[in-house]
Structures are given as structure tokens and as C-alpha cells.
A and B are shown apart, each in its own frame.
Chain A
């Protein structure tokens, strides 16, 4: 009989302070109003978003960050549609300081990262919160 440690790991991740939250570069104001999204981060390489989507899934990025890069307070921060500058994201992927596992260039090449980055940037902007009746309180 399997006894999973779901809650325990969640607690551990929370205990870790989720320092990977620094990955989240979404343009959110405190009131939740979204800032404009730049078309392309200045340092972003050219990547293939379609291929990036496949890699994002097969490499398991979605496991903690959601299939749309929306993030979770329990597992990993939001990545899309405005990821961190590419250089900062790459540094973190190679040498994470928080709970995220490391991904070396042996398993995720720089080209792969560029494609994933393109996928993240290609995600649609979310609807304005006030446009969603279900979120009106």
C-alpha cells in the first residue's frame, strides 16, 4: 500500500520559502491590475514556440508551473506570459537557489531553453479580473 507524502512535501516546499518565487516577473500591481506586456524581452533569443511547448511538457516544466505557465502558490511561480529576462531565467534553471531541481545544459540545451522561453512568451494575456463574473466578490 502506498502512502504518499503529498501534504508533507507541500509543507516542505512552503518551509523552503519558495525562493523560486523570484522567477515570477509578471506585471502585476498590488491591486491585481495588469501592466502592459512587452512584445519581446530585449535579451530573449529567437525560439520556436511550438517546439517550446512540446519541450515544456516533455521536460516536465508544467509539473510545477502549470501547463500554461500560470504557476501555483504550492509548487512553482508563474512564468507566463511575461517570463523573467532570458539570462536571469537561464541562470536560475542552471543554478537554482530554492526548491527547484537543477537542469544542466546536458539535459536542457540553451536552444531548448530559448524555445521554451518563446512558448512562455506566446501565452495569451489573462482576461481582466473584473471581466470575470465568477471572480467578482
Chain B
């Protein structure tokens, strides 16, 4: 068929539209002369309507575009928010969300970078327990979003990604729409998403949209991606398609539970062990998971090492021995690993020296048991799988779903004599816990009055202002030497959300904003410890926080460097033995020092700093807390010690 006589899909759909409007469908052909006269620069994003290269009268409106039905489906998934930096490849769905959908469930969140959109969704899930949607271009948007998607993938967090694309090449606007179109948009992120699809019809979209949600929410949870064609979003719903539309029922899969025989054997080993250790990383998916882990630990009177992928175990629980983890593992006869991202690294020591070396730190006869949903879904390219570990029992199962059966099996095997022995062990562990806590308090006194401000002082000052509130730490705490975990009383699931998963810098600021948004409706005081290097990746998220009135207290850990990289460079310098004074080149954020408070203020956020005198810190935090309690974000820039 010649181009002159072609009937575009959209034109065809227009002719079959159910708008009911009287229509004079224009002739499909366009002469070269008309095109020449009508066309602006080839790169113009859109042509003015007056210059459309069509002759005659066209159908100009529809009140039932395909995007409306997409909104119907999305609403059925109970998605509260859609985070997005606006883009023309999803303009149809965008309009349907804000007008047809009433900008509610989901509500549009204006983001300044797709990396922010995805990381916000990442942090949001870890508080709310359900995904946030993200809308982005299938090309440049996904490219921006890729690192944040990878972080969520590594962290086993579902993100509901929708990416616009223009599939029919004959319908693309000249210029930018071609640049923003791609044959296989999902290819860019397929290595670190769990599933993707490219629906070619609205019924197809409906099934894939529900399927995607279900897949994302089945452990191991991960991001999913639907690529949505611009034509499907914008074109009227044809009559024959309308008749086939329905919103499929969502039924989430129950998380996989460990095999009963493996559970029984695990219980036997744990009950009979003299020095069992429970290690938890991403074990508690929900508040119930934390309670179950407490029950297991108390039943066994076994110490728990919380590796901090989730809020697994209360920090002040007498069986929390996260600080003494290596010694406990070295002395253990049974080690139970629950959703460990790195079991090998847990039971081995690795030396990053000129000649790299490693050794097992466990007793030769120690039994290793793994319960991890990660064994159910593995991809090849990206290496977040960590090194292969030798274990004695490997349950490819969700730890939280397996804990009830394991607890019951353990209880069945404990007799009175064994219970007495376990209680004696518990008494010793309680004493050791008290000693560790006293040691932490004592350690915190060193450099107490120093400037730059010590991370212990920062954490203690912050704690004093939130401890009597319903607080939630929405950032990781590894960069500040885990002082919050050592000094604060974490006893609720929402008080900690772990880290980025993939160690991609730029996660923290947007993830904390997303988590704070989830905390908002519960009236919680969200606080974060914000690294300076991370701040600079996509600082526009502070505007998003201000614009959407997301209450968040961010206290900066501003060591004026990508400090981990400073140490890496220092390691190389020491190893290469030719000068050790240049580790700051390319790794520090000095000369000039960055005024983070001014940046935040410029985006409508209350901000103070830089604070260098520890005496000034408490009052600044107090003022910021008052701002946050009014429902706004606030930032306190603190110049700190490196770690």
C-alpha cells in the first residue's frame, strides 16, 4: 500500500470510535507539497495544529481514550501514587490520570529526575508494603531510572514501572518522538527487572497490568515494567474493543514456605545446638516478620545478628547481638541465615590486600542453614548473587512465611531440661548485650566535642529530639558507623528500612522522601541521615518534598567527600607505595564547600547550616523538628567526621 493511500491505525480507530460525535474523517493522504508547507523544523516537538499536514476536517476530540481504561485497571491495583517526571510518550495516560482519574489513586507526584521517581517508590514500599507506580519515557526516562531500578532489584523491592513508547513508526511525530521511541524499551533494564511486557491492545494491557503487580509482589519481590504504546493511551476505544474490556481480578500468590522435612531438620539442629546463631538480612517483609523472628529467638534463646536489610529485630532486645556478630559466628555450631544477601560473606573473612585472600571463620563442623527466596529466581548478568556458599540445608522459600512452621517445630522439640539450658544461655546473652550497649555509650564519648562533629554526637543529638515522638528512620545508618542502631531504641518495624540494595549512590535522598510520604498518613516523624555525595545526584527531590508537603527531617552527614572512595584511593596509594597525600583528588567535595542549606532553601525547604560546632546542633534540630511537625520538609546541614 502506498503511503499516499495508507490508513494509519489511529485514523482507522478514529473511524470506529465510540465517541458518538458526528465526524468527517479526513482523507488519509497528504501531498508532499502540503507536508513541505506545513512542516516546521524536523526536531520540533510538536507541530501546531493549524499546520497539520492533513486535508479536510478531522475528528478532533474523544472523550474515551484508551488511557481511561488503563486508569480503571491501575485503580483496581490500589496504587496510591505515581511518581513521574513528565514526558510526551505517556502524555495520554498522564492526562487520563489527572482528569479521568481525578488525580487520586494514583495521585501524580512531580519528580525532577526519573532516578528520584524510582527511588521514591523504593523507599515508599519499605514503609507502606505496597508498590508505587512510576511513569517514565521508555527511552531517556528508563535510562535515567536505570540505576534506581537496579537498587530496587538488588534490594528485592517491587516498583511498578510504566514506560511510554511509540510503537507504530508511521504515526510518530517528526523529530523528538523518534528519538524517544525504541523497538524494545525493556531491554535496557531486563537484566534487573523481574518481568516486563509490551501490551498491544487494551485487553492485553489489563491482563499484563494485573499480572505485573502479582509478579512484583511475589517473593522474591522485584521491579516490573510495562511498556505502554502512545497510541493505546491516546486513541479512542474502538467499539469492538470496548466490548472486550474487563478488569481482571488480582489475587496475590501466597509466599512460598519451606519444605516440611527441611523445616523439621532445621528445628532439630537449632534445638540441639549449644551455640546457635540467627542471622537476618531481608528476613522481615512485614511487621509480622519481626514478631516471628522475636518469637523464634526467644524460644531458642539464640542470639540474633541483624544485618539490616530490613527492620528484623529490636535493637535493645537482649538477644540482639549484631555488634558482636563475627565472634558469635566463629563460635557457632548452627548458623541459620534468613534471606541473606551474602551468606558467604557472613561466614568468611576476606582481605582486600595486594594478594586477595579469604578464609572461613566458622567451626569446621558448624551446620549452615539458609532460608531465602532468592534461590527461586536468579539472573545471570548482574552479579548481586554474591559468592556461592556451602550450606547444609538450603530452603528455597520465603523466610517470613516459613517462620511459623519453624517456630512450631522448635517448640515441639524442646523438653523441660532443654528449656532450662536455653534459659541459662539466655541469661548470659542478656549480660553480653548489656555490656555491648555500655560499650557503645562509652565509645560515643570520644571526639564528643570535636569539630567536625562526630557521627556519634550527631546521632545522639538527633535521638534526643525524636525519642519521645512516633519516629521512623528512613535512611540507612552504615555511613555513620551504625550509631543509631547502637544507641537508639528501635522496636517497631517502621523505624528502620535498611539500605539501597545495590549501593548505587543517589538512592538515599529520594528514597527517604518516598518513605516519608508513606509515613505521612500515619503521622510519624520521618528522619533521615543524608550523605552529602548522595544529595548531589538529584537534589531536585527536595523540591518534590516541598511541593507535595512531605514532612521529613534530613540531618546531613556532610563529610565533604565521597568518603568511601577516599579510602579506596588511600588503599591503592598505600599499596602502590609512592605517596599517600593525594587521596582527596577526585574524591572530595571541597573548594568550594557546597552550601546544602542554600540549595534546599532554593527549593522551598527549611534548611540550616553548615553547622560545625556541636553546641549548635541540638537547637538547629529542635527548630527543624518543629517545621517537620507542621508537615514540611526540613534539612540541617552538619559538617561531620568521616564515619
Residues of A within 8 A of B481 (CB): 72-75
Q: B351 within 8 Å of A by Cβ?
A: yes
The SS class assigned to the A binding surface is loop
Shortest Cβ distance from B151 into A: residue: A3
Encode contact with A along B611-643: 1 for CB under 8 Å, 0 otherwise. Answer: 000000000000000000000000000000111
Give the residues in chain A near B320, CB-CB below 8 Å. Answer: none
The yes or no answer to A83 lying at the interface (CB within 8 A) is: no
Binds A, one of B263-271, B437-445, B594-602: B437-445
A62 near B350: Cβ-Cβ < 8 Å: no
Interface string of B586-604 (1 = CB under 8 A from A): 0000000000000000000
Among B326, B446, B463, B573, point to the contact of A78 (Cβ < 8 A).
B446
In the assembled complex, the Cα of A129 lies from the Cα of B563 at a distance in Å of 29
User: For residue A41, which residues in chain B have a CB less than 8 angstroms away from its CB?
Assistant: none
Whether B482 contacts A70 by the Cβ 8 Å rule is no
Q: Judge whether B41 is part of the interface by a CB distance below 8 angstroms.
A: no
CA distance A122 to B470 in the complex (A): 42
The answer for the CA separation of A73 and B484 in the assembled complex, in Å, is 13
Interface range on chain B: under 10, 10 to 19, 20 to 34, or 35 or more? 35 or more
Given the contacts A30-B439, A107-B574, A60 and B566 also touching, CB distance less than 8 Å: yes
Residues of A within 8 A of B581 (CB): 58-60
Distance (Å) between the CB of A77 and the closest chain B CB?
10
Decide if A52 is an interface residue (CB 8 Å cutoff).
no
Q: Of B239-247, B331-339, B447-455, which binds chain A?
A: B447-455
Contact partners of A128 in chain B: CB under 8 A: 445
Query: Does B352 have its Cβ within 8 Å of any Cβ on chain A?
Result: yes
Does B580 contact A132, Cβ atoms closer than 8 Å? no
Find the A residue at minimum CB distance from B503: A7
Give Cα distance in the complex from A106 to B576, angstroms. Answer: 11
8 Å CB contacts to B: which residues of A62-91?
A: 62-64, 66-68, 70-75, 78, 80
How many residues on chain A are close to B (CB under 8 Å)? Answer: 59
**Residue B565 lies at the interface, judged by CB distance under 8 Å to chain A:** yes
Q: What distance in Å separates the Cβ of B277 from its nearest Cβ neighbour in chain A? A: 15
Whether the pair A6, B564 counts as a contact (CB closer than 8 A) is: yes
Q: Once the chains are docked, how many angstroms separate the CA of A70 from the CA of B121?
A: 37
Docked complex Cα distance between A99 and B500 (Å): 24
Which A91-137 residues have C-beta < 8 A from chain B? 98-99, 101-104, 106-108, 126-129, 132-135, 137
Which among A6, A16, A126 is the interface contact of B448 at CB below 8 angstroms? Answer: A126
- Residues in B183-238 with C-beta less than 8 Å from chain A: none
Q: Which of B446, B448, B570 contacts A63 (CB 8 A)?
A: B570
Interface presence of B99 (CB below 8 A): no
6 smallest beta-carbon distances between A and B, as pairs: A32-B442, A101-B574, A70-B446, A126-B445, A70-B447, A68-B447
Bound complex: CA of A57 vs CA of B449, how far in Å? 18
Q: Output the nearest chain A residue to B435 by Cβ-Cβ distance.
A: A30
List A contacts of B562 (CB < 8 A): 2, 4
Partner of B349, one of A3, A17, A33, A137: A17
Tell me, rounded to whole Å, the shortest Cβ–Cβ distance linking A55 to chain B. 9
A25 to chain B, nearest CB (A): 13
> Is A44 close to B, CB under 8 A?
no
The verdict on A14 contacting B446 (CB below 8 Å), with A28-B439, A70-B641, A74-B643 known, is: no
- Knowing that A15-B345, A30-B438, A133-B464 touch, tell me 20 more A-B residue pairs with CB under 8 angstroms: A3-B503, A3-B504, A14-B325, A16-B352, A32-B438, A60-B570, A60-B583, A63-B567, A63-B583, A64-B567, A64-B642, A66-B642, A67-B450, A72-B643, A101-B571, A101-B574, A126-B445, A128-B445, A134-B463, A134-B464
Residues of chain A at the chain B interface (Cβ within 8 Å): 1-18, 28, 30-34, 58-60, 62-64, 66-68, 70-75, 78, 80, 98-99, 101-104, 106-108, 126-129, 132-135, 137
Q: How far is the CA of A133 from the CA of B482 in the complex (A)?
A: 20
Q: Are A129 and B566 CB-contacts (below 8 A) given A2-B505, A17-B326, A74-B482? A: no
Q: Whose C-beta in chain B lies nearest to the C-beta of A1?
A: B147
The chain A residue with its CB closest to the CB of B345 is: A15
Give bound CA distance, A137 to B464, whole Å: 10
**Is there an interface contact between A106 and B577, defined as CB atoms closer than 8 Å?**
yes
Q: Give B224 Cβ to nearest chain A Cβ, in Å.
A: 22
Chain B: which residue is nearest A59 at the CB level? B580
**Contact present for A62 and B642 (CB under 8 Å):** yes
Residue contact A126 to B446, C-beta cutoff 8 Å: yes
Interchain CB contact under 8 A, A127 and B439: no
Say yes or no for B523: interface residue by CB 8 A criterion: no
Contact B643 A134 (CB under 8 A): no
Q: Is A6 a contact of B479 with CB atoms below 8 Å?
A: yes
**Minimum CB–CB distance for A128 against chain B, Å:** 7
In the complex, the answer to whether B351 meets A16 with C-beta atoms within 8 Å is yes
**Complex Cα spacing A101 to B579, Å:** 13
Instruction: Report yes or no: B448 in contact with A103, Cβ–Cβ below 8 A.
Output: no
Chain A CB within 10 Å, residue with most, of B461, B479, B567, B573? B567
When the two chains form their complex, are residues A68 and B570 in contact, meaning their CB atoms are under 8 A apart? no
Write out the residue numbers on chain A whose beta carbons fall within 8 Å of the beta carbon of B563: 63
B342 CB–A CB distance under 8 Å: yes
B578 interface residue (CB < 8 Å to A): yes
- Distance A18 CA – B438 CA, assembled complex (angstroms): 21
Closest Cβ–Cβ distance, residue A73 to chain B (whole Å): 5
Given contacts A17-B361, A70-B446, A126-B448, contact A3 B147 (CB under 8 A): yes
Residue in A32, A63, A78, A104 whose Cβ sees the most chain B Cβ within 10 Å: A63
User: What is the bound-complex CA distance between A103 and B583, given in angstroms?
Assistant: 14
Contact B503 A34 (CB under 8 A): no
**B residues in contact with A66, CB < 8 Å:** 446-447, 454, 641-643
Shortest C-beta distance, B330 to chain A (Å), equals 8
Give per-residue flags for B501-522: 1 if the beta carbon is below 8 A from chain A beta carbons, else 0: 0111110000000000000000
Interface residues in B106-132 by Cβ distance below 8 A to A read none
**Beyond A7-B503, A32-B439, A62-B642, is A127–B578 a contact (Cβ under 8 Å)?**
no
